[in-house]
Structure 1
């Protein structure tokens, strides 16, 4: 509904419009009256006025002066002027002030109604346009916020060749995503390779930290240079845009990368390297990025540094000699952990002093030690899978990333293998029996894995694996089995309260006991007792 205000210094003229005209056919909500400009301003200040019908000639401030005030304080109001003189100068001034129309006195009611009807239509159209503009503004704001993600997705699809690198398609995407490039532009790619996190991170935390290092790369490496930082194949990739006729300074890029590495080491507790490529045309970008990933794979000796393309393209002069794995087999079979670890350390020290170590050398070392472990444990009749989880045992991606990580993996593998084999061959059945007895005797207590391990002087993780191998059950599964069997016996053979049965089997909360009992037996404690005693 629309509100109407009529302003005239003659009350009869006001009533002639507000009462003399039948407004029922119009979507008019409220009709207000004012006999001078001040009174009109008061009405406009207190109410939403959609249409104002005002006389021009009034004592004191006139209608044109009122319109000037309305333009500032109630700009949505459409004004229709009334005048007793066909003065063209008045008409010009009324139009200049943004009035909708004007009518000569005496007022023709039909003519005035037609003009009001037109004003209402204009207000509706303006409101629709305003609503559209607000909607567009809202979604445009959302689109702007999502623009970095859209740009990242575009580059990912281009690098994976999901979209064709033809001029028409690329030009359209550049315009859509506001990327300042054309087909003559070049890109300088920089691969960021995180080599080590000082703190052990779970998957979620590592994802957060990788997001943080991408933001830092945008702030330190890209800075004022046009470009972006995207996630590509699990790593971060900087793409610097090079316009036609311009050229990037490699020394400046290297200095920024060095500052970035230092900042990441300080604030994010990680070591990483930057692999700086060369300026390349758009159509060759995918191949150039693939070269950077290959350079990362081949680099196993240098870390926490900036590597330029010309440094990475130098061919290997010779391949270092692989260790004598047959000697390692003898050491592992004899359980000589200290000697085996020392031999591993010596070999990796020798590799680190050689500049020409490539990924093939690291792979040969990795698979060679795995062969030693599998060969010896199988020969002894032991299952390698019981020693370590498969993902930890064969952690290829982590172990072969650098010589330092290869060292960590190899030393741990040799130590665990010797400990596992020596402990197993000393008769672990006695250890398992002792743990079972301890669980039976302390059933009413809440036992932790660490407490059980301390009772037999073993590492908790090692004890868990050992116990599972010996009994076929984890420690928690065995503990649950013993408790539930005792609970079944008490429920079937006694009339003790169920809460007392729960306490006797180590459960301080009845509801948790009932939940575990039903999960184990398929029946609630009450149902189980009823079935057996009935």
Structure 2
């Protein structure tokens, strides 16, 4: 960070040089000038980030100098110093886009504060510009993988303009980096830009040789992709050992479970087909095993796990109502076959379909509405697409079996609703919740709420409040019972809460309601 101070008084310049701790502010070089002409020469020869300039100077004054700086380098932040609190000066400074305006004599800490704010703005602008450039570059690179020739051509032109000499006959090799905590969740502990930096650092350290360049982007599966390219045969010097060193370096830097998939070397015009072969490897790693995989040498296991005997067993367990046993048995089957490598994307999809069939057939026989079992947190689409990897499948199976086991207990929904109503009436003096009622009738709160609304025409929370209000009205008609006792009798330890609840339903406070009834 470089600063230029301009003032025609040497005593002022010397005072600032000794009174302001520039090094503590992160300023590496401080230049000084006693007139505008010398200041301009310094600016032309050096990159100046902050200009600190007096206004009243002989010859060309500080305002004229600032106008010139504004035209020469608008990014330079300018702080004006003046011994006259003139509105005219302040107005001209604002028009010139100056960062700050300080009345002299000012204590050094005030000048330091202004410089700290200026430095903070410069750093913020730099970060935003870096992030924008990285995001822009990522969007450009990802289009190189497009099957649309126009998109690819446009990206090549954009990269050439950014200084990357890539063309359709450049040699390329891609590394797909699957960082599981990143691709599996919505919240991340590291920013995309931070990961970009680490990946490029590892590529520079382990992969790059003269003539070989690296680009990075994020694909639609939230996986990072490093694209190596060269316009000579230098790309062929990247050995298997170098790839392994690169992979180990990423794992060490990131500290996460990672898989890296390496494509064959080809030309950019064939990038779509080359990358597709690697994506097949990615998709078939349904167990999400960490490791380094090469599309040219790693083979997909297409030997599916045997299902017929297990399907018969699971159907029998379902029919006998042994839901916990069938759940444990299915998860054990999945874990075992995943461990010995019996699952790929196709076999996992087939397994999901077979299992879904027996679960849905069982539900149909028991008059269970499958769609009513799903919630906002886990919906029908989540379950039907859960075959993509082992963890998603186990989550889906656990959810659907638990939901079916709960729903299968309801062979007469009206009886269960009546049991719930009886429970509410018997516990009217308690602070009961929807979960309390759902637990009493052995349903999940989500399923019970849907069932109650379907049968009663209102949601269970409103029903509980309505019953409490009706009971409160009966008690309030007896003038001998204090209002706070009425609240306590209905399970409200907070009198204000009781009053708010009552007024929301009756448009009157409990006290107002009592007065109205007594004078009726």
| Structure 1 and Structure 2 fold alike (TM over 0.5) | yes
- Is it true that 1:410 corresponds to 2:397 in the alignment? yes
Q: Provide the C-alpha distance between the structure 2 equivalents of 1:506 and 1:301, rounded to a whole number of angstroms.
A: 51
- Is it true that 1:365 corresponds to 2:351 in the alignment? yes
Task: Give 1:367 shift.
Answer: 1.7
Task: Give 1:284 shift.
Answer: 3.6
Provide closer, same or farther for how the CA distance between residues 520 and 4 of structure 1 changes in structure 2, counting only shifts above 3 A: closer
Q: Provide the C-alpha distance between the structure 1 equivalents of 2:14 and 2:273, rounded to a whole number of angstroms.
A: 68
Provide closer, same or farther for how the CA distance between residues 227 and 219 of structure 1 changes in structure 2, counting only shifts above 3 A: closer
- Whether the 8 Å CA contact 1:189–1:277 is kept in 2: the answer is yes
Q: What is the match of residue 13 of structure 1?
A: none
- Is it true that 1:171 corresponds to 2:157 in the alignment? yes
Q: Provide the C-alpha distance between the structure 1 equivalents of 2:336 and 2:304, rounded to a whole number of angstroms.
A: 12
Provide closer, same or farther for how the CA distance between residues 214 and 360 of structure 1 changes in structure 2, counting only shifts above 3 A: same
- Is it true that 1:300 corresponds to 2:286 in the alignment? yes
Task: Give 1:484 shift.
Answer: 3.4
Q: Provide the C-alpha distance between the structure 2 equivalents of 1:530 and 1:228, rounded to a whole number of angstroms.
A: 78
- Whether the 8 Å CA contact 1:261–1:304 is kept in 2: the answer is no
Q: What is the match of residue 260 of structure 1?
A: 250
- Is it true that 1:76 corresponds to 2:35 in the alignment? yes
Superposed CA offset, 1:17-68 (max 9, x none): xxxxxxxxxxxxxxxxxxxxxxx85698799xxxxxxxxxxxxxxxxxxxxx
Task: Give 1:366 shift.
Answer: 0.8
- Is it true that 1:241 corresponds to 2:200 in the alignment? no
**Of the candidates 358, 378, 399, which is equivalent to residue 364 of structure 2?**
378
- Whether the 8 Å CA contact 1:193–1:236 is kept in 2: the answer is yes
Task: Give 1:151 shift.
Answer: 1.5
Task: Give 1:191 shift.
Answer: 2.2
SS at match of 1:128: helix
SS at match of 2:470: helix
Provide closer, same or farther for how the CA distance between residues 451 and 124 of structure 1 changes in structure 2, counting only shifts above 3 A: closer
Give the alignment of 1:110-509 within 5 angstroms: 120=60, 126-137=65-76, 142-159=128-145, 164-165=150-151, 170-176=156-162, 179=164, 181=166, 185-195=170-180, 204-205=186-187, 207-208=188-189, 211=192, 214=195, 218=199, 221-224=202-205, 225=208, 226-245=213-232, 246-247=234-235, 248-261=238-251, 267-268=255-256, 271-301=257-287, 303-312=289-298, 314=299, 319-323=304-308, 325=311, 328-337=314-323, 340-341=326-327, 344=330, 347-348=333-334, 351-352=337-338, 355=341, 357-389=343-375, 391-392=378-379, 395-396=382-383, 399-403=386-390, 405-407=392-394, 409-410=396-397, 413-414=400-401, 416-418=403-405, 420-421=407-408, 423-425=409-411, 433=418, 435-448=420-433, 456=440, 458=442, 462=444, 465-466=447-448, 468-470=450-452, 472=454, 475-487=460-472, 504-509=489-494
- Whether the 8 Å CA contact 2:141–2:216 is kept in 1: the answer is no
SS at match of 2:286: coil
Provide closer, same or farther for how the CA distance between residues 210 and 131 of structure 1 changes in structure 2, counting only shifts above 3 A: closer
Superposed CA offset, 1:79-138 (max 9, x none): 9xxxxxxxxxxxxxxxx99xxxxxxxxxxxxxxxxxxxx9549x7664323124453356
Q: Provide the C-alpha distance between the structure 2 equivalents of 1:263 and 1:169, rounded to a whole number of angstroms.
A: 30
- Unaligned 5+ segments in structure 2 are 1-5, 17-30, 43-57, 77-121
Q: Provide the C-alpha distance between the structure 2 equivalents of 1:42 and 1:338, rounded to a whole number of angstroms.
A: 86
Q: Provide the C-alpha distance between the structure 2 equivalents of 1:508 and 1:338, rounded to a whole number of angstroms.
A: 40
Task: Give 1:308 shift.
Answer: 1.1
Task: Give 1:428 shift.
Answer: 7.1
- Whether the 8 Å CA contact 1:298–1:358 is kept in 2: the answer is yes
Provide closer, same or farther for how the CA distance between residues 351 and 76 of structure 1 changes in structure 2, counting only shifts above 3 A: same
- Whether the 8 Å CA contact 2:140–2:155 is kept in 1: the answer is no
Task: Give 1:309 shift.
Answer: 0.9
- Whether the 8 Å CA contact 1:432–1:467 is kept in 2: the answer is no
Q: Provide the C-alpha distance between the structure 2 equivalents of 1:173 and 1:184, rounded to a whole number of angstroms.
A: 15
> How well do the aligned residues superpose, as a CA RMSD in angstroms?
4.9
